C-alpha cells in the first residue's frame, strides 16, 4: 500500500494558494479544504509549520503587495486596498499600520517623494560586463568586430 502524502505537502498547497490568490476572498475553511484538513487542524498545523496563522500570513502577503503598489504607482490608498483584497479601508489601514509601523498614506508619501534607491554596484558591473567573453582581449576583439560591421552597414546604406 502506498504511503500517505505528508501533511506539509498539503500545507504548501494552501500556502501557494494564498500567494497566488491573495486578492481573492480567502478564508480558513476554504484553505483547509485545499489542505484536506479540518479548519482547526489546518490552522494549528499551518502555524506550527510557518510560524503564523493562515489569516496573518494572508494579511502579510496582501500588505507586501500593497507596499509595492504604493511605491511604484500613483494609485490611491483606497484603490490599492481593494486591489489587494481588503474589503474596507479601515481594516486595511489598521493591518498596514500594525505590520509596517506607519499609515499607508504616510508610507506612499515618503516613498513617492524620495529619489529611487541607488543601483548596487554588483548589478552595474553585471550589466556592463562584456557580453562576448569574460576575457578582456576577446571583449576588445568583439567590440572591434562590431564597430567594423556597423561601419560596413553604414557604407552599404549610402
Residue 2 in grid coordinates:
502506498
> Which of these CATH numbers, 1.10.10.60, 3.40.30.10, 3.20.20.10, 3.40.50.150, describes 7-113?
1.10.10.60
Which range is least confidently modeled, 62-66, 146-150, 154-158?
A: 154-158
Segment of 29-33, 93-97, 132-136 carrying the highest mean pLDDT: 93-97
Q: What is the pLDDT of residue 126?
A: 73
Chain mean pLDDT for the chain: 85
DSSP states of 51-117 as a string?
Answer: SS-HHHHHHHHHHHHHHHHHHH----HHHHHHHTT-S-HHHHHHHHHHHHSS-HHHHHHHHHHSPPP
- What predicted TM-score, i.e. pTM, was given to this entire model? 0.69
Q: Where are the domains of the chain?
A: 7-113, 121-157
**What does the pLDDT look like over 34-78, one tens digit per residue?**
888 899 999 999 999 999 999 999 999 999 999 999 998 999 999
Confidence category of residue 118, pLDDT binned at 50, 70, 90: confident
Chain position carrying cell 498614506: 105
Stretch 139-150: mean pLDDT: 73
pLDDT greater than 90 at residue 18: yes
Query: Cβ distance 40 to 54 under 8 Å?
Result: no
Q: Give how far Cα 91 sits from Cα of 29, 33, 42, 74, 109, Å.
A: 21, 26, 24, 21, 20
For the chain, what percent of residues have pLDDT higher than 70? 82
Cα 82 from Cα 24, distance rounded (Å): 10
* Across 83-108, average pLDDT: 95
Amino acid at each position: 500500500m502506498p504511503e500517505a502524502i505528508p501533511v506539509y505537502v498539503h500545507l504548501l498547497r494552501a500556502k501557494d494558494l494564498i500567494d497566488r490568490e491573495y486578492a481573492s476572498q480567502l478564508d480558513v475553511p476554504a484553505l483547509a479544504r485545499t489542505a484536506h484538513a479540518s479548519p482547526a487542524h489546518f490552522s494549528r498545523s499551518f502555524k506550527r509549520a510557518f510560524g503564523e496563522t493562515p489569516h496573518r500570513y494572508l494579511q502579510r502577503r496582501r500588505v507586501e503587495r500593497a507596499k509595492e503598489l504604493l511605491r511604484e504607482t500613483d494609485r490611491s490608498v483606497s484603490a490599492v486596498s481593494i486591489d489587494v483584497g481588503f474589503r474596507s479601508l479601515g481594516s486595511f489601514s489598521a493591518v498596514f499600520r500594525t505590520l509596517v509601523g506607519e499609515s499607508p498614506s504616510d508610507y506612499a508619501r515618503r516613498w513617492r517623494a524620495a529619489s529611487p534607491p541607488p543601483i548596487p554596484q554588483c548589478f552595474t558591473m553585471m550589466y556592463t560586463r562584456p557580453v562576448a567573453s569574460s576575457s578582456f582581449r576577446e571583449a576588445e576583439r568583439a567590440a572591434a568586430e562590431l564597430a567594423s560591421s556597423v561601419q560596413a552597414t553604414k557604407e552599404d546604406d549610402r
